[in-house]
Structure 1
Amino acid sequence: MNPPDWNTLLPCLVATAAAGAGVLLATFALAVRLGLHRIVDVTWGLAFCAVAVVTFVLSDGHGDEVRRLLVTGATVVWGLRLSLHIVHRSRGHGEDPRYTALLDKAPGSRTWYALRTVYLSQAGLVWLISLPVQLAAHSPAPLGPLDVFAAIVWAAGLTFETVGDHQLARFKADPANRGRVMDQGLWAWTRHPNYFGDALVWWGLYLLACTSWQTGLAGLVSPVVMTLLLTVGSGKRLLEKRMAHRPGFAAYAARTSGFLPRPPRQQPSRHRR
């Protein structure tokens, strides 16, 4: 077992909290200027990139070089891909209905309510979820079989997420599909291949941090919180609430897994009497 040096890790935890908060506060200032809070979805991935880069710099001389490069590269690739995808997806659109509905509940100033409930809360989540990145980068343990498995899990997650997003974008680009529910490709196996892939990415990054029982225990909060956010938090639950009224969605939900991929259920045939 090779736990990190906690004396060198603690200053990094402080610095990464500041880095993540800095990205989100800069986003807040820009969002207020533009009157568009949906841009926070773009900088969500960028905040993780900032945390990974700061961690890489501060872990120099403390963690295994290959592990540092691997966990930093994996995090940055994931974060940049997600941010670029959201930029492309949201181009030409106005405010996200989720933020409109949230800010309509503001008891006072919508601006300060947005700062508290969106930006500061996301800054805290970025820091919490990125714990395995920081733990792994500070670990002196050389790579082993578990890390190979971790890389496979991460790659599978990124592939699922990327392919799912591409399939959905291509489906929406076809005018003939307007108003229809996407039920092709990976979307025939799970209603949320992008969310499932996202969760896999963070389980893979968590496994890279499991070089001792201490880091395994400390980092477990990350994939658990991310999976809960994607399934019962702001991901799957809210999206399906908005889609429930769409024609064909009930039948799609009945035959397709809500999260974990599996072959679609066969619908019982209806015979005329």
Structure 2
Amino acid sequence: MDLFLLAIVAAGISLAMAGAWIVQRTTGMSGWIDTIWSAAVGLGGIFTAGCAEGPFSRRMTVIIIVAAWALRLAGHIGVRTKGGGEDPRYAKLMRDWGASASSRLFIFLQVQALAAFVLVFAIYLAAINDKAYPAVTDWLAVLLAATALAGETISDAQLARFRRRPEARSEVCETGLWRYSRHPNYFFEWLFWCCLPLFAVTSSPTSLLSLLAPALMYWLLVHVSGIPPLEEHMLRSRGDKFRALRKRVNAFFPGPRKSEFVSQGE
């Protein structure tokens, strides 16, 4: 394991998130934070995989997949931020932090840098896997990554199309993939990171550390910075309409609409 390489990447991500703090403080637009975070994970992963010692073909596959993820997510968030409007999750944090908002945001972003490093470390473990390429697990990983990227792209496009409707400010999105999950974009984001353990898996116990990537992403999206603050905002802005949605649509994992089971049993 190349600890020097990992230390360089960790320092670079930390500096990137310090830059994100400066950008937010300068522009007042918190969306640039997630844009920079996505780019930092992507660039850190690409650099790490490129410098790692592993089969060239597997490293290139990992690099292409990570680059596609980073370009899609950073581009999507960047365009949305440029279009205007503050991220309600960050806006609430800044209000709650009050006079100490600036310093607490800096610390918060360094915690995000640590989370980013965990993801990059999983990319590194995938890149140094020295078993013959391609293995069955490699094919499965590519399929999983492609499915996740397609699903996230489709769900984001469906939500953007819904938001362009005049009534979107008072309604809830319940079309396309959003009929089967309240947060399909988050689900597919988590699914993407499930491909890294497939790339990384070997007989070495160290490769199991790659499971930290999907585990961390699930925890963040479902329990910390994803669903909880966003749904709190939706409850404030949509009220009973969103409460009704919660009763008939799964929060994270796509599944049958609950109201359909009720109607069949009555």
Q: Secondary structure at the match of 1:139?
A: coil
Given candidates 35, 42, 46, the residue that maps to 1:49 is: 42
Query: Shift in Å at residue 248 of structure 1?
Result: 1.8
- C-alpha distance in structure 2 between counterparts of 1:147 and 1:57, whole Å: 18
Q: Which residue of 1 aligns with 2:250?
A: 257
Q: Does residue 139 in structure 1 map to residue 132 in structure 2?
A: no
Is structure 2 residue 69 aligned with structure 1 residue 78? Answer: yes
TM norm structure 2: 0.90
CA 255–110 in structure 1, closer or farther in 2 if over 3 Å, else same: closer
The CA deviation string for residues 24-78 of structure 1, in whole angstroms up to 9 with x for no partner, is 122222222223333101112101112122213321xx21111101111111111
Deviations along 1:141-167, whole A, 9 cap, x unmatched?
A: 222001111111111111111100000
SS at match of 2:172: coil
For residue 21 of structure 1, what is the aligned residue in structure 2? 14
Structure 2: stretches of 5+ with no match in the other structure: none
Alpha-carbon offset, residue 214 of structure 1: 2.0
1:192 and 1:151, CA in 2 relative to 1: closer, same or farther beyond 3 A?
same
* Helix, strand or coil at the partner of 2:130: coil
Q: TM-score, normalised by structure 1?
A: 0.88
Partner of 1:130: 120
Contact 2:55/2:127 (CA < 8 Å) preserved in 1?
yes
Determine the C-alpha separation between the residues in 2 that align with 1:243 and 1:105. Answer: 18
Aligned residue pairs, count: 259
Stretches of structure 1 that go unaligned for 5 or more consecutive residues are 1-5
The separation in 2 between residues aligned to 1:205 and 1:19, in whole angstroms, is 21
Counterpart pick for 2:229 among 220, 238, 260? 238
Secondary structure of 1:87's counterpart equals helix
Contact 2:89-2:230 within 8 A present in 1 as well: no
- The equivalent of 1:3 in structure 2 is none
Percent identity of paired positions between Structure 1 and Structure 2:
33
CA RMSD of aligned residues (A): 1.8
Distance 1:114 1:176, change over 3 A: closer
Contact 1:15 1:54 in 2 (8 A): no
Distance in 1 between residues matched to 2:112 and 2:181, nearest whole Å:
27
2:156 pairs with one of 144, 165, 181:
165
Matches within 5 A, 1:52-131: 52-59=45-52, 62-106=53-97, 109-117=100-108, 119-131=109-121
Q: Which amino acid aligns with 1:15?
A: I
2:256 counterpart of 1:266? no
* Shift of residue 176, structure 1, vs aligned partner: 4.0
Q: Deviations over 1:77-101 (max 9, x none)?
A: 1111011111222234243332232
Q: Deviations over 1:192-247 (max 9, x none)?
A: 11000001000012221112342332211111010111111111121111112414
